[in-house]
Amino acid sequence: MISDGKFGKYGGIFVPELLIPALEELEAAFIKYKDDKNFNVELDYYLREFAGRPTSLYYARNLSEKLGCKIYLKREDMLHTGAHKINNTLGQGLLAQHMGKKRLIAETGAGQHGIATAVVGALLKMPTEVYMGSEDVIRQKLNVFRMELSNAKVLPVDNGSRTLKDAINEALRNWISNVEDTHYLIGSTMGPHPYPTMVKHFQSIIGRETRKQIMEKEGVNPDVIIACVGGGSNAIGIFSEFIEHDEVELIGVEGGGNGVNSGKTGATLSVGSEGVLHGSLSFVLQDDYGQISEAHCVSAGLDYPGVGPEHAYLKVTGRAKYVAITDKEALHGFKLLSQYEGIIPALESAHAIAYLEKYAEMRENKGKTIIVNLSGRGDKDMFLVAEKMGDEL
Ligand SMILES: *Cc1c(COP(=O)(O)O)cnc(C)c1O
């Protein structure tokens, strides 16, 4: 490997020796193609014509008036398949094709990353298999159907808690025995090096567009950027262009579940501790013996007991701040954006909206310019939200 893939002490490559050659091959290809002109012309073409980039930086006038701040929304919800995940699946899919790989595998929790991988598999004519916990296969029937419609094969995983973390383990296992012809397309800034760096690279388009757009609209950097954090890819994507601008406050919002001290939470950085999960050192939710705990959060995208290693680094160095929003508060955020702006956010993004309201209500923050990364749209969450809110509307 050329790099050890560390962010401070976090990250790294904690995998069985059998996987090292595959990770070396992937790192070499990533380094070769990330600045390659033809590769980027092709990727830009698909991002524009297939996925719908650039997304707008939308001034949320009604919410700005209500909260007494200048609020902009980065509209990743407008992308094909409904979220930022397509930025990464297009990037990695194309890279796999350039590497001569014939087959894609992926993990998925709720199915969002599975769908974003499946459509890229269809687009690039690469057979695609998606590992999904059998519990999630039942809970997310409609998304299974969507993946299958785009030719992907969904493989239910019956191990452990039968959810996302078990699906990742199974995908890693399959990759070990098929590295010759297969690319494992990881869906967030997690996993062993080079994934956290590579996924950040493909998601940094969000930050580059945002910086250009805010400069055109305001002529200065925003005061603060707020983004939800599951594995951390949409947050790192928008943070990336601003990390070196110290005056910009960066805030990641985790899924608090029933509350950070309730034992039913997804707030890894808020209440987790250092540990190794899925190939890298970061913060994890674990018991006293180092066994990984189950995460809990109303939104599947934030329901993960780990977090990308760069976020661990940004937290301990103090460059970014991490907060948690409960399920209940997220549902309030979901309603708030829908009612004030006519934009229905994904439940994940609704966590960022809920924190936006808290932030804007602090007296010292009045009048600030705030950018919220609206990572996805809420169509996928309709049934769940209807069930949870009942007559409350
Ligand atoms: C998957 C998902 C997330 C969480 O993933 P990150 O890697 O933390 O960005 C957030 N928002 C939406 C809409 C998602 O689909």
Alpha-carbon gap, residue 284 to 72, rounded angstroms: 32
Q: Which of 62, 63, 61, 43 is nearest to 53 (CA)?
A: 43
Ligand 1: distance of its center to the CA of 17 in Å?
A: 30
Strands, E assignment, 142-265: 153-157, 182-184, 224-228, 249-257
**Measured from the CA of 199, which atom of ligand 1 is nearest?**
7
Ligand 1: residues with CB < 6 A are 83, 85, 112, 188, 228-234, 301, 346, 348-349, 375-376
User: In the structure encoding, which two tokens stand for residue 164, read together?
Assistant: 């996302």
Identify whether the C-beta of residue 3 lies closer than 8 Å to the C-beta of residue 27: yes
pLDDT at 336: 98
Mutate to test the pocket of ligand 1, among 89, 234, 337 (most ligand atoms within 8 A of CB): 234
Quick one: 122 exposed, middle or buried, by C-beta within 10 A (0-12, 13-18, 19+)? Answer: middle
Task: Report pLDDT digits (tens) over 285-324.
Answer: 999 999 999 999 999 899 999 999 999 999 999 999 999 9
Ligand 1: distance of its center to the CA of 341 in Å?
A: 21
Alpha-carbon gap, residue 271 to 284, rounded angstroms: 9
* Closest C-alpha residue for ligand 1 atom 3: 301
Residues of the chain short of pLDDT 70, as ranges, are 391, 393
pLDDT at 393: 66
Peptide bond into 54 cis (omega under 30): yes
User: In the structure encoding, which two tokens stand for residue 68, read together?
Assistant: 């007494």
pLDDT at 389: 85
Ligand 1: distance of its center to the CA of 18 in Å?
A: 30
From the list 27, 76, 107, 254, the catalytic residue is: 107
pLDDT at 161: 86
Total Cβ atoms within 10 A of residue 199: 29
pLDDT at 265: 96
Total Cβ atoms within 10 A of residue 240: 20
Identify whether 85 is a catalytic site residue. yes
Residue with tokens 């509350």: 259
Identify whether 357 is a catalytic site residue. no
Identify whether 107 is a catalytic site residue. yes
* Ordered DSSP codes for 66-114: HHTSEEEEEEGGGSGGGBTHHHHHHHHHHHHHHTT--EEEEEESSSHHH
pLDDT at 17: 94
